[in-house]
Amino acid sequence: MNKTIYALSTAPGTGAIHIVRVSGPKTFDILNKICKTEVFIKHFHIQRNVIWNSKTQKVIDDVLLMKFVAPNTYTGEDLIEINCHGSMQIVHQIFELLAANGAILATPGEFTKRGFLNNKMDLTQAAAVDVLVKSLNPYSRACALASLFGKTSEQLTVFQNEIFQLIGTIEVLIDYPEYEDLEKDLNTWINKTKNLKQKLIAIINQSSRLISINSGFKIAIIGEPNVGKSSLLNALVNKERAIVSNVAGTTRDVIEAYLEINQFSVSLLDTAGIHEHRSQLEKKGIEKTHETIKEANLVILVLDANKKSSRHLEILNDLTRLEKKYILCYNKKDLIKTTQIKPENNCVLISAKNNEINDLIHQIESYLEEYKQSASNLMLNQKWQIDLANQCVYFLDEFEKICMTHPYLDLIIEPLKNANESLLKILGKIQNYDLITEIFKNFCLGK
């Protein structure tokens, strides 16, 4: 980390302003070489200055410099944020000057990685930064913020300390082989680990639900050909995204559209009609439909309210087998008397053609509301954290089994040490180079 790095922290493109972030031991030296007046060292201070090329005497931009002095910065290093006008031409010229004076372009997530390595945050907080930047719903955002402020670390540290204290107790007893109350202690230890395991499993289950919608809430619109799936998608997004036709089987590929419902980014997936395929092209379309169903968080099964069919019962059985939440959506209510439809669970009656879809939107909102419960508990924000937490649960299971079958102190202590290590890895207190590299490579440039 002896190199000074730079990157664009705002999204590329034209805008009001851009922010170029610079961090490292030579930050102030480099800025003094590319600014017209002295960049004096003062923490948490804004200074107006002019970026210029001293060799050509050419002015690049009139900027504001936000200055942060080590160690009290995001990265733990000297850090300056250059607020320039929002032209990418200006940004590129600033980049050229920074590079010419010894700075190097940062890798994805390198600013946060340096903050972690300089003990400005632990690994759960660093991971939360990435989730916060990419959050597409209010619950993921709230959980990421809680982790960023240390709540996840705090609770996991409590769990880790409980395991560590138990390891300490057993290590002391290993030195006293004449100890006789082992059976009583074994029951106490098992009860402790069972209680801890229950809490961890609850966190894992709730976290897994929320992680599944981190990249957006996916809704698959399925049904037989020509029941109005594409019309429904267009009604939901208020524009003609899918081709609407009276010819059955018009949609042979998955069509994706986006909208926002209750601050959730929702991805609508209009699929090929499910039926007995007559061509290779239709077969591929239906295969993609089945893949889409597996990936979806919610399925809308569209039926033609004007036609009798039992085909949907087979589809419902498949959805139940896959443990998929679904809404049964009878379309074309404008063509029937409402008394023709018998109410069912998760059932709505709509007319996509006439944009009468409020009941369906309310149903979708109720499913989104279920994620509020997940967000009310402590959260792990990423899959690698879930995997390590599951490892911890596995080793606690192993501890309990060995206690009951081979209750020798030198044997039962090993799975506890492994469980302890799993939690330390989540917190970043045991550094795994491959894991750290994998985590930060998915970050945005400039973060």
H-state helical runs in 322-382: 358-369, 371-375
Angle between helices 123-134 and 138-148 (to 10 degrees): 150
Per DSSP, the residues of 245-288 read -SSTT---S-EEEEEEETTEEEEEEE----S---SHHHHHHHHH
For the annotated binding site for Mg(2+), the residues are: 230, 251
**β-pair partners for 348:** 329
H-state helical runs in 151-227: 151-174, 182-211
**Edge-first strand listing for the sheet containing 217-223:** 255-261, 264-270, 217-223, 298-304, 326-331, 347-349
The CA angle 127-215-382, to the nearest 5 degrees, is 30
Q: How far apart, in whole angstroms, are the C-alpha atoms of residue 277 and residue 279?
A: 6
Per DSSP, the residues of 24-40 read STTHHHHHHHHBSS---
For the annotated binding site for K(+), the residues are: 226, 245, 247, 250
Give Cα 93 to chain centroid, integer Å: 34
Return the residue matching tokens 């600013």: 111
For the annotated binding site for (6S)-5-formyl-5,6,7,8-tetrahydrofolate, the residues are: 21, 81, 120, 447
For the annotated binding site for GTP, the residues are: 226-231, 245-251, 270-273
Q: How far apart, in whole angstroms, are the C-alpha atoms of residue 260 and residue 216?
A: 10
CA distances from 443 to 17, 107, 127, 387, 440 (A): 22, 9, 9, 20, 5
Rg of the chain on CA atoms, in Å:
29
Amino acid sitting at position 439: I
How many residues can be counted in the chain? 447
Q: Are 306 and 349 in contact (CB under 8 A)?
A: no
Query: Where are any strands of DSSP class E within 30-161?
Result: 45-53, 58-68, 79-85, 104-105
For the annotated binding site, the residues are: 21, 81, 120, 226-231, 245-251, 270-273, 447
Spatial CB neighbours of 436, under 8 Å, sequence gap ≥ 6: 113, 116, 123, 428
Q: Are 232 and 357 in contact (CB under 8 A)?
A: yes
